[in-house]
Structure formats: structure tokens, C-alpha cells
A and B are shown apart, each in its own frame.
Chain A
Amino acid sequence: KRLRSQVSAALKEGRVTPTQLCQRCLALIKSTKFLNAYITVAEETALKQAEESEGRYKRGQSLGILDGIPVAVKDNFNTAGIETTCASNMLKGYISPYNATVVQKLLDQGAVLLGKTNLDEFAMGSGSTDGVFGPVRNPWSYTKQYKEKSVPKFHSEDQESNWVITGGSSGGSAAAVSSFTCFAALGSDTGGSTRNPAAHCGVVGLKPTYGLISRHGLIPLVNSMDVPGILTRCVDDAAVLLGALAGHDPKDSTTIQDDFKPFELPNLTDVSELSIGIPQEYHAPGLSSEILALWSKAADLFKNAGAKVVEVSLPHTRYSIVCYHVLCTAEVASNMARFDGLEYGHRSAMKDSTESMYAATRREGFNDVVRGRILSGNYFLLKQNYEKYFVKAQKVRRLIADDFVKVFRSGVDILLTPTTLSDAAPYTEFIQEDNRTRSAQDDILTQAANMAGLPAITVPTALSERGLPVGLQFIGRSFQEKQLLTVAKWFEKQVQFPVIQLEEVKRHDSGVFQHQKSASFS
């Protein structure tokens, strides 16, 4: 059991200053550079923000709990004056003139923006391995816990190549939070892109209800499914971030109009009123026996504590992958149409005609994954195919969403499922299959929540046989984040997930590390 230091309280009381905090994080980022979690480190601006925060604390005018807290943001969010690349050649060097609403909100509340985190190109992928800046390494690859448990296949093999992936596509954000370089990070979640890497990296990953948090400034993958995701080291912190970011944004017409009231999570002690649903279809093909066992153990945990645990059915789950692929690629094809090299971003040197310039720019700017999805999407949107594919998929989507409605209407409060099929794969193994195959496999447990727009959260549960994190997922009713997070917090308390013991880092910089390791900030 470890004490969780309250960094915010420490800041308020002056036990640590925002500048010190920022410097430590920046130093840690440097010493964990091999993780490749960050694409851009905004050192100068971060220190400036920390200074300003310090001034506010000195004057007793702090902006709130986030004032002075170092955060990181996935590189598909627009940040004014700081490069936004989406890990793509298309936007290398692109400096956006505006801040995404969520970024602006963080800055307005005094958060210190350390930098932009790595991802799969344009958020397409489930490994954070397919971006132009290279793959992100899971910090757990470098822990006492992992090394102890893993068996190198070939003794002559460099330890380095045994590292495991973070999962994706918000792998950089997950790695950043997991390795203590920041206290919270923003990711995005379209089919599981926040929850998947959060589970693999042993951190909390929250996907809010669609329409709760503004997407203005989030470079879209699938407009009808994307949400900004929140990655933190504990559930309380996720609630704080949610409170800071949620609410109607006039710049995003898909955000709900209702007022959002930030909440503090109660400490749930009595779960006897709770009804937990276990969807049978989430016992998916390929689910590791380990995770199956953990899932079962978790269900028992609730049962033994007095909650009602029932098996439920979401019968259309098995169609979700195909449905997702049609709708996702169609929207991708549409959203990527703006990248023509004309107004911003990469422009090819090809000058023969506008058309040839477009074609060359897009061939040079996009990787195979992006181009593949654009082609598929355009195929599904052709007049002769539209009814058969796109409209059909929309109908199936409705059925998938209705599955959840029915289950929640029957009295179930929260669904409990695994987040991933297994623990994190070694990079060399992961890249044996192509992006599309991996995405199809890995998204199965997470994407239905995106199709239905429901809130979902992954909570680090236990270490696998290999010493790697495994998370379990809770899915809640629309806009019932308070209930969802309350239950998640109770669960988090029960499982007491171990703190990561980073080895490599200790070697490089022992002093800094000590202060970081307990860190939740709220």
C-alpha cells in the first residue's frame, strides 16, 4: 500500500512549486526518451506556463486544482504555436493557429502543457506503431516486474528488442502518464484508442459519452464516434479532468446543450444497490485465459460485496467489427479529402497540374494504412454501394446501440468486460500482422461503446503472468459518468494495482523518480 501524495495540495501549500514540478517532468521526459512517447516537447512554453502558475500561487490566486499541473496532449489535437503532426508526413511542420477547445480549457485552468504525444498516423491503429516518428514503447517493458517474468527467446538477443507495445492509437499519452512524465494526458477514442493503450500501460483510460466533451480542434478520424479521451493514474484524477473539460461548446454542434456540473467522486462503500451486467458476447475468440480468469474474479468481487451480478446479452456484438470498418473508412475517406497540399501541410513538388499535385501530395503525405482506408471508404460511398454498405452499416449500428439500451433498461447499471484480449504483445510479434488485421482483432471489446456513444473506462486491475498490466472495462449509461466513475473508483480501491517500478529510469536519474512514483495529483 502506498500513500498517494496530493500534488495539488503540495502546490497550494508551497511544498513544491509549479516550476520544480515542470522541470522534473521535463527531465524525466529526457531520460525516458527511448520510449518515444513524445513527438514534440514544448520546453520553453511549459516553463513559462509553470512560472505564471507559480506567480498565481504566490499571490494566492490559483486557478484551481489543475493550476500548475503538467499535462500532455495527443498530437492530433490542435495546439496554437506548437507543431501538430498527427504522426503523419502530411502535417509535419504544421503549426496550427488555434487551440482545440479542450486544450484551451486546460490552459485556462493553469495546466502546464509539456508536449504532444505520439500516436498511430492519424489515430489509425491499435499499437501506436504506425506513425512516421516510429513506434511508442510500453514503459512496462523496462520494469522490474516485466523483466522478472519474461523469458527471452534467444539469449543472444538484445534486451531492447523484447519491448512490448503500448497499444493504440493513444500510446504516447498512455506511456507518458504511465512513466510519470505527466499527471494526465489527453488521448482520443474512436474504437478504443484511449482505453486500449491505457489497459496495456496500466493507467486509467476514460472514454466519455459522445457529445459531452468538445471535439473542436480534435483532428477527426470518425466524426460520429470520436471523443477526446482522458488518461490518468487514478480514477479521481480522471473525474477532475472530466470536470475541467466537459460541457457545451458552441463551436461544436454535436455537444449537448445541457449544463454540466463537475462532480467529486463519493467513496462508495456499499455496492448492494448496484447491478453489474456481464455481457456473454465479450467472451470473444482470442480472449486469453488469464484475462478471462481476471474478469471472472472481478465479477465475484462485486458479488461478494453484495452487488447483483447478472449475465446479459448484447447479441449484435459480433457484427460490430464489420459495421465499424464500413462506417469508419467512409468517414475517413471524407475527412481526409481536405489534405490536398493547397492551404496547409505537405505539398508535393509535382507541378504538372492541380490533379497531379493532389495525387502526389496525398501519396507522399499518407501512409499505407491511411490510404487503404480512404480507398475502402470511397468504395463504400459510391452511389451503387451506398445502400448496401453505408446505410446497412448505419442500421446495424442502431441495432448495436439498441442492445445496450435494452440491457440498461432491464435494470443493469454498469457493464463489466475485459478491455483487451491479452496483455501487451512484443513489438516484433505485433508487427507480424498488418494494421487492419490488428485493429480488427484488438477493437472488438472497445468499439461497441463508440458505436453506441456510451461512456466507458478501463481500470488497471492486475499484472499478467508476464508481469504486464491488464485492465478491465466498465461501460455505463449515456451521460452517467458520475455513476460509472464511482463504481470504477470502488473497484480500483479493491484491486490495489501495483505501482510501476521503472528500472531504466532509476539508472539514469534516481533523484527525480522518487517524487513522481506515487503521483496522483488530486
Chain B
Amino acid sequence: LAPWIPVVGLEIHAQISSNSKLFSGSQVQFAAPPNSLVSFFDASLPGTLPVLNRRCVEAAVMTGLALNCSINKKSLFDRKHYFYADLPAGYQITQQRVPIAVNGSLSYSLCIDNKMSQMVTKTVRIKQIQLEQDSGKSLHDDTRSQTLVDLNRAGVGLMEVVMEPDMCCGEEAAAAVRELQLILQTLGSSQAIMAEGQLRVDANVSVHHPGEPYGVRTEVKNINSIRFLAKAIDYEIQRQIEELENGGTILNETRAFDSKLGFTVPMRDKEGKQDYRFMPEPNLPPLILYDTKSLPANMNHQQVINIDWIHERLPELPSVKREKLVEQYGILPEHSFTLLNEDGLAEFFESVVKQTQMKPKKVIGWILNDLLSYLKQHSLTVKESPVSTFLLADLLNLLENKEISSTAAKQVLAELWKGEGKTPLEIVKEQKLELLQDQKELEQICQAVIDGQENEVIIMVLG
């Protein structure tokens, strides 16, 4: 059987973190009462007009720069038409002809095996980033044969990030999305929490034989977590391979991932091959951005976005931060990867390192093995940790000063998790875990043990 090459591309919609919507002043807020955040424009009341939100543009520029894109100094808005209950105007305002950013790249790391012992870096090309409106939400109430429409989300700003089909499997896609998520969160351009719908991923999957053209692709939607993303993609790849090997064909269709069953199913409500009748949005002039060179001297500062100004103020990206951690603390790249993968963990680590004499190379073990596994076990975030950096540093100092053994330290830590407010020293005293430093005392204890086990000693000495 000839080998199959799976090809995976992604379309990611990230909700922009802003106070108000992309084209109107209504608020952006998760889980508000239905239809409580709807302006006249969002409800498509006749005669209302879009007004571009500056913050949303800045978020898109930041994201484009962080993803090594070229920022288009002139980009355009278009209308994409289709009828649906959650789209009040009957069209979505998007950027189809000339988006705000193009031709970027995202580097992400992957573990060769499951043990996090060997990381490899891959790159995926970013085709473009475009600004567009989010739709409202419609909930189908089949029992009462009705559809309930909530327009709170209608008009919220989105950045659609299109990743070229450079990925080969669920794992790569998951790693790429995870890295994008970290970047967005670092920039603050999107909170990117998948569970709150702030990051939505659609996967385009196809398979083909080496040397042959790409196969027909399917689009997989309704993926609610990074874990399910990997599963959905891998399932779909398998499904396509089996289908083709059994002589079947792949339809260019949209499929939904059913997380309970673990497979993809054709979508019931699919739009089919729609003609969106794209048309320029006549109410929005072209979006013009400047850089230091092109900035006119008499421009009103309020009305202008300077790409270079934004570039200079970009925060440190995850990849840079990871390298710095490795350099500064002598930890392994895999360690640095895990540190950044957990919200607040890198800061926790650095804080502990500052407060202890123990070398970072040793501290990292306590952070990644003990602290992290405990937090995972109890589904806690780093912020919720009952053990503060101060307490842990305190404990590690005891260990470093040889006042307790490492076994004892683990015992103390277990006690600290209870969060009863005791200091490590107090626990050590309570449980009599002090290491004996006195040579003489130690000799006496050893002698006593040996004396009590004469037969065993003889056997040992004789070999």
C-alpha cells in the first residue's frame, strides 16, 4: 500500500480583546444576559453605519507583527452575504480582497516522543490575518420548534488567522494553535480562551500519495479544545485514508467533530457551496496605516496608527522568553517550554529562584515535578496554588542548607499543600524531620543499628 501524506491547514478565529465591538460602541463581555450588549448597528437597524474601532486595528497589527507578517498599509473591507438568523444585516463585514496582514510565519515546538526529552522546532506559514465581525449566537430549541437568537456576540471583532497546510497531523496542529494562543495572550490582543469561544479553530484536512496532487479536503468544525483539535484531525485523516483505500471518494464538505463519540460527522446545517456575493463595503473608506517614514507631519495623532510605534512596544514573545530562561537559568529547552505552557508558572519559577540559594537547575525539578503535578492533580492554576513562592523558596533553602533531606522535603511539601499556614520550619520541627548534622550523634545511631543487627552485618561483611 502506497504511503499517505496527510495535509492540515487551519482557519483560526480569535476574538479581539477590546472594550467595544469592531464597528460599534456596544460592550464586549462574556456571558452577559441575552441581547443586553446590542447597539442599533449590531441589530442592523436601518440607517446605521459602521465606525471602525481603533483598538481592534491595533490588536491586528500587533498580532501581524508578532507573526512576522507584512502589514498592509492599505487594506479594505468587504461584505460577505448570506442569510442566517445570527447575522442581522444579512452580510458580514470582513476583509476578503486586501486583509490587514499577510505572509507571516509561526514557529512552534513539538516533542519527538512523549517524554518531553527531545524538542523539535517546526514552522507554519501564515497566509493572512483579516479583521471581521463575529456573528450572534443562535440556539435551536427543537422541542418548541423555534430558534432563539442572542446578538450579544454580533459585531465583536475577530482576527481570522489563516495557517497554510504545512502541518501533517493533529499533534502539529495542536502545538501550533497552542503557540498562537500563548502569543495572543502575551500581546493581549486576544484572551484566546477556547472554552469561552474566544479562540475557534476550523481544520482543513486532506490526504494524498507522495508525488500526486493534494486530495479533496474537508473542513472540520465545532472543535472546543486543543486536545479535541488533535483528536478530530487525526480521526479525519484516518477516515479519509480508510475511505480512499476502500475505493470511496472524499466529498468537499464541512464536518463537525462530535467530542463524545470521537468522530467527525457531516454537518446537518451546512451552508453548502454558497456564493457569498462579495462586494466592497461602501461605508468604510480604505484602512490606511502609517510607519515612521510615511507619517505626514501634520497628521492628527489620534486618527493615525503608526506600525513602527507599535512594533517598538511589542512585549517579549514566548519564543524569546523561552530562550532567555534557558540562557539565564541553565535549564533545558523542554523545561522552558513547560514553564511557559502553564499560565504564571514561569513567573513563579523566577520568583522562587530569586528567593532561594538553590541553583535554578535544581529548582526547576521541584517546580515541574512536584508543584506542577500537584496542581494538575487538583485542577488548580498556578495562581490558585496554596504554596506560595515564598513558602517553596523557604523549603528549598532548608534543603539547600542541608537542614533536611530531600525525602523530608517532599514530606514537608505534602504538608504545605494543606495550606494550613504553617511555615516549612514549623512543619520540620513538628514532624522532627531535621537532619542530624552532628557527626558523633550520627555515629552513635549507626553503631546502634549495626549492633542491633549483628547477624546481618556478618553476612554483609562476608560478602
Contact = CB atoms under 8 A, between A and B. Distances in A.
Nearest to A217: B47
A381 interface: yes
B45 A344 contact: yes
Contact of B49 (A251, A330, A354): A251
Contacts of A223: 282-283
A411 B431 CA distance: 101
Interface in A310-351: 330-331, 333-334, 336-340, 342-344, 351
Given A253-B50, A253-B285, A254-B285, A97 B40 contact: yes
A337 B47 contact: no
Given A378-B277, A381-B277, A338 B46 contact: yes
B149 A390 contact: no
A218 interface: yes
Interface string A70-84: 000000011000001
Contact of A337 (B43, B91, B282): B91
A91 B279 contact: no
A86 B275 CA distance: 29
Interface string A238-261: 000000000000111110010000
A384 to B, nearest CB: 8
Contacts of A378: 277
A334 B279 contact: yes
B85 interface: yes
Contacts of B284: 253
A134 B224 CA distance: 55
Interface size class of A (residues with CB under 8 A): 35 or more
B47 A96 contact: yes
**Chain B contact surface mostly:** loop
Contact of B51 (A250, A382, A386): A250
Given A220-B47, A254-B283, A337-B91, A383 B81 contact: no
A116 interface: no
Interface size class of B (residues with CB under 8 A): 20 to 34
A338 B88 contact: yes
Interface in A442-494: none
Contact of A381 (B90, B145, B278): B278
A342 B278 contact: no
A218 B279 contact: no
B48 interface: yes
A224 to B, nearest CB: 4
Nearest to B303: A257
B203 to A, nearest CB: 25
B276 to A, nearest CB: 8
A250 B49 CA distance: 10
A265 B449 CA distance: 115
B283 A342 contact: no
A344 B43 contact: yes
A98 B40 CA distance: 9
Contacts of B50: 253
Nearest to A90: B46
A342 B149 contact: yes
A358 interface: yes
A355 B147 CA distance: 12
Contact of B88 (A84, A252, A342, A386): A342
A224 B81 contact: no
A340 B83 contact: yes
A378 to B, nearest CB: 6
Contacts of B85: 342, 354
**Chain A CB within 10 A, most for which of B83, B147, B284:** B83
B49 A253 contact: yes
Contacts of B49: 215-216, 251-254
Contacts of B145: 351
A310 to B, nearest CB: 35
B46 A78 contact: yes
A331 B282 contact: yes
Nearest to B84: A354
A351 B285 CA distance: 40
Contacts of B231: none
B317 interface: no
Contact of A343 (B44, B275, B282): B44
B284 to A, nearest CB: 6
A98 B45 CA distance: 10
Interface string A361-396: 000000000000000001001110010001000000
A357 B155 CA distance: 24
**Chain B CB within 10 A, most for which of A218, A254, A342:** A342
B371 interface: no
Contact of B282 (A219, A224, A339): A224
A382 B279 CA distance: 10
**Chain B CB within 10 A, most for which of A251, A378, A382:** A251
A136 interface: no
Contacts of B433: none
B79 A334 contact: yes
**Chain A CB within 10 A, most for which of B47, B90, B147:** B47
B124 interface: no
B279 A337 contact: no
Contacts of A358: 83
Interface string A142-163: 0000000000000000000000
Contacts of A390: 279
B52 interface: yes
B250 interface: no
Contact of A253 (B79, B278, B283): B283
Given A250-B51, A342-B149, A386 B278 contact: yes
B88 A91 contact: no
A227 interface: no
23 contacts: A84-B46, A86-B46, A98-B40, A218-B47, A253-B49, A253-B283, A254-B49, A254-B285, A257-B303, A330-B279, A334-B91, A334-B279, A337-B90, A338-B88, A338-B90, A342-B85, A343-B43, A355-B83, A381-B81, A381-B277, A381-B278, A386-B277, A386-B278
Closest 3 CB pairs of A and B: A337-B90, A381-B277, A223-B282
Given A98-B40, A217-B48, 13 more contacts: A78-B46, A84-B46, A96-B46, A96-B47, A100-B47, A223-B282, A253-B283, A254-B283, A337-B90, A338-B46, A340-B90, A343-B44, A344-B43
Interface of B: 40, 43-52, 79, 81, 83, 85, 88-91, 145, 147, 149, 275, 277-279, 282-285, 303
Interface of A: 77-78, 84, 86, 91, 96-98, 100, 215-220, 222-224, 250-254, 257, 330-331, 333-334, 336-340, 342-344, 351, 354-355, 358, 378, 381-383, 386, 390
